[in-house]
Chains A and B, each alone.
Chain A
Amino acid sequence: MSKPVVVLGLLGTTLDSARPDEDRWNRWRPTVSLCQHDDLLIERVELMHPKKSAPTAEIVASDLRAVSPETEVRRHVLDWRDPWDFQEVFGALHEFARSYAFDPDREDYLVHITTGTHVAQICLFLLTESRHFPARLVQTSPPKRFRGGEIGRYQIIDLDLSRYDRIAMRFRDEHREASSFLKSGIETRSAAFNALIDRIEHVAIASEAPMLLTGPTGAGKSQLARRIYELKHARRQVDGPFVDVNCATLRGDAAMSTLFGHVKGAFTGATSDRSGLLVSARDGVLFLDEIGELGLDEQAMLLRAIEEKRFFPVGSDREVESDFQLIAGTNRDLRVEVARGAFREDLLARIDLWTFELPGLRDRRDDIEPNLAYELDQFARRTGRQIRFNREARERFLRFATSDDATWRSNFRDLNAALTRMATLAPSGRIRREVVDEEIERLRRGWERPESDAKRNDAERLLESVLGAEAAERLDRFDRVQLADVLDVVRNTPSLSEAGRILFARSRERRATRNDADRLRKYLAKFGIRHEDVRQIERST
């Protein structure tokens, strides 16, 4: 059995009006007509009307009893001074909705929106959309020509748009377009990546909260952030600019002022006011790449700026306001940074509401081929030269690119560089086998080193800064690796005892005496290094 239908509606003081002396059956009356349809059985009508319209309501109620004896009519006096006053009408209807004992499990509600002022109709719509009326809308319309007795039409409108096939399809198309836009139109095949982008699309459209994009360098964080901005801009969700900055480039005093601005005279060299990137990004999107590189002071300021939408420029005692959406990027595990004391826990909590991890190219082998086409296309746009692969050359390159030999350490940066090189070297716009073989060899060599460039350079720098360039140069390779690792631990721990506990963690368990600090001190002394020398070195970032 279907649920009984209950109609809630306003008495149309004009359309439903009826004087006893006129022939009211020769006129189309919306509320009466709604109960005359032979395919719509209405259990009850809740008729709301102002007090002064009681006589009309009485006539309408009695006519409803005649045309629809199955229908019970309940009248509710709902008064407002001005039926065109939005606040007043909304308030009265809201109150009615709140006090009405809806039982949607047992009854099927329809809100009749044909009667009442336009303001009242808007209020009914809003209250239905917000589910204060757990109902569908029903609209009645008069016959084309009234000869006598025609009842016109009624239409039930469900505001749950997912119930309409064609609308749902439209939304799916829109979603697909947006996802495709985020992927720069590249027909990616990796199911996991496509699911990730679908989710990002959903969140980007639905939320203004900060987003955190993680993943290895070159995975496309920066490009994706810009695309997210462009999508939101196209949907008119932001009208400010896209501002992006790599936090690794912000060091020392300048960092604060670059981000938050300063006033003239705030420090030496501050010869004029500077508004800062947070202000530039007002009403737009601020992309902070490598956010883990940001100093602790800047992190504190940023947190406040995100939460309060206001902050103090350097040297200013007047706050400025700027509302922007933050997208942060990092290739580090910020939780580890928090544990190390290098990243504020409260800031992480604020920005990792939506964390998306972009996989490296190695984990998206299926997507290399479509990206190849994209890169060639981009090259053509940039240079005006249309480049194509030989069939053989293409297969050869793809075979290598998707093999385990290809580590794609810098991900899309590597791919882009490889394509740019091959395209540049391609004679008369054709990439041939020779060019591919050469490129494969070059990539292979580049990836050969056991450690990443960054990590290796880091170790070299550390040795140099502790020992001095000359002494570091004289070290045997045998010692280099061990010493660099020991120094890295020492500089990141507050005491030698602490460092010793980490470095000798395994053997500690088996020993009776545990003077690891002493052991460590002696080891360092062998290289002429004192604890203080290491402590002066900046912590690893």
Chain B
Amino acid sequence: MKTQDHISIDGAQGEGGGQVLRSSLALSLVTGRAFEIVNIRAGRKKPGLLRQHLTAVTAAARVGGAEVEGADPRSTSLRFRPGAVGPIDAEFAVGTAGSTTLVLQTVLPALLTASGPSKIRLEGGTHNPFAPPFDFLEKTFLPLIARMGPKVTVALERPGFFPAGGGKFTVTIEPSEALKRIDLLERGGIHQRRAVARVAGGVPRRVAEREVRDIARRLSMKPTDCHIEEVTDSLGPGNIVTIELESDAVTEVFTGFGERGVPAESVAQSAVKRARKYIASDAPVGEYLADQLLLPMAIAGGGSFRTLPPTRHTLTNADVIRAFLDVDIDIRKETRETWRVTIETTGDDR
């Protein structure tokens, strides 16, 4: 175990965004170790803590009974000293249609092995271009967490799109004592493809029709695998398409976000492009999932997966994890399209 009393994190490292902060918060809760982060989001147009980061800090402080210094808008440094991590029953709201899934990502790891079940209600954006959408959480990420032990269920009450936000979902977490190691090295065949186009808040149904038609044509999908959902209870307009690819190992989700003035076909294509790249390689783990898997695997004390070329996000995340935990994270290129990530514990006293 590392002996340092508190850990110093440079917020400007790697991709230098909010991810460094969120990972640090999550790891601090998991390890019980205090940290100080400086240069928060130093390279960004508006440096320092924004509202969604503050919500993440608040949520983390709640979960860990933490002492916090510097949790102010636009603050560029923060000290976080967690107390006892316990299960919670709480609500967190994110303004500006900021992503609720990122807040969950911050507190979830610690709650997976907490002493009792937790229930969290989140309010804000659920389908946000700059964060994993709710569908990814539900279809891709949480089933893998379930394979590691804990049972996490999510129930979407109402989607929240940019800019109106106002989405709501509930998360229930049944923890396990420890996380089990998993390895995702072989994808196996993709045996199910599914496309869903959703429109909300006055966006016409024909937009969704054009999107699924385009996806079906480009990915040679059967009309029965294409679905249209008209969301009636959204607070504002919204449009997204998701392509789900189910293989033996995992269900991957690729998303396109509708924007005013952007043709439906372009929205469809942005999802199709990512899906095709994934299909073309034989790696089971997509770019976003790779990023998300590092932390639970590190907590589990080991794991491995094959994935697409790692993003800057993933590499930064690995660095932050190494600062908190005695783990080796080996990221190695295998072929032109695939990389292999292996996580092993180095110490034996954990």
**Which of A23, A70, A149 interacts with B93 by CB under 8 Å?**
A70
Interface centre among B163, B235, B261 (most CB of A within 10 A): B163
Q: Looking across the interface, which residue of chain A has its beta carbon closest to that of B124?
A: A69
Expressed in whole angstroms, the minimum distance between the Cβ of A36 and any Cβ of chain B is: 5
Q: Is B259 an interface residue (CB 8 A)?
A: yes
Does B164 have its Cβ within 8 Å of any Cβ on chain A? yes
- Is A277 in the interface zone, CB < 8 Å from B? no
> Which residue of A36, A38, A147 contacts B259 across the interface (Cβ within 8 Å)?
A147
Contact A66–B73 (Cβ < 8 Å): no
Contacts of A39 in B (CB 8 A): 46, 48, 50-51, 73-74
Question: Are B93 and A67 in contact, CB atoms less than 8 angstroms apart?
Answer: no
Does A1 contact B71, Cβ atoms closer than 8 Å?
A: yes
* Bound CA–CA A148/B51 (angstroms): 21
Contact yes or no, B166 A65, CB < 8 A: yes
Task: Return chain B residues, CB-CB under 8 Å to A46.
Answer: none
Find A67's partner among B71, B166, B202, B260 (CB 8 Å cutoff). Answer: B166
Asked whether B54 lies within 8 Å of A41 as measured between CB atoms, the reply is yes
Interface string of A15-31 (1 = CB under 8 A from B): 00000000101100000
Q: Residue on A with the closest CB to B74? A: A39
| Contact B96–A25 (Cβ < 8 Å) | no
* Contact A148 B93, CB 8 Å, known A66-B236, A69-B123: no
Q: Is A35 in the interface zone, CB < 8 Å from B? A: yes
The 8 A CB mask of B244-277 against A (1 = contact, 0 = none) is 0000000000000001110000000000000000
A66 to B201, CA, bound (A): 14
Let me know if A464 is at the binding interface, CB within 8 A: no
B164 adjacent to A66 (CB under 8 Å): yes
Q: Does A151 reach chain B (CB closer than 8 Å)?
A: yes
Does B54 lie within 8 Å of A66, measured CB to CB?
no
With an 8 A cutoff between CB atoms, is B95 at the interface?
A: yes
Q: Does more than half of chain A's interface fall in helix, strand or loop, or is it mixed?
A: loop
| Residue among A25, A35, A37, A71 with the highest chain B CB neighbour number at 10 A | A25
Size of the A side of the interface (Cβ < 8 Å), in residues, is 24
Nearest A residue to B163 via CB reads A149
Let me know if A149 and B74 touch, CB within 8 A.
no
Closest A-chain residue to B202, C-beta based?
A: A23
Complex CA distance for A37 and B261, rounded to whole angstroms: 23
A60 to chain B, nearest CB (A): 12
A40 an interface residue at 8 Å Cβ cutoff? yes
Chain A window 123-155, contacts with chain B (Cβ cutoff 8 Å), 1 for yes, 0 for no: 000000000000000000000000111010000
Query: In chain A between 58 and 97, which residues have their CB closer than 8 angstroms to a CB of chain B?
Result: 63, 65-71
Known contacts A26-B237, A41-B73, A69 near B94 by CB under 8 Å: yes
Tell me which of B46, B160, B164 contacts A63 (CB under 8 A). B164
Are B235 and A148 within 8 A (Cβ)? no
The interface residues of chain B lying within 8 Å CB-to-CB of A26 are 237, 260
Residues of A within 8 A of B123 (CB): 69
Interface: A268 (CB within 8 A): no
- Specify which chain A residues have a CB less than 8 angstroms from the CB of B71 in the assembled complex: 1
Q: How far is the CB of B14 from chain A (nearest CB, A)?
A: 21
Partner pick for A151 among B46, B51, B163, B202, CB 8 A cutoff: B163
Chain A contacts for B259, CB-based, 8 A = 147-148
Q: In the complex, A39 Cα to B55 Cα: how many Å?
A: 12
The 10 tightest CB contacts between A and B, nearest first, are A148-B260, A66-B166, A69-B93, A149-B163, A68-B95, A38-B50, A25-B236, A2-B72, A66-B235, A38-B96
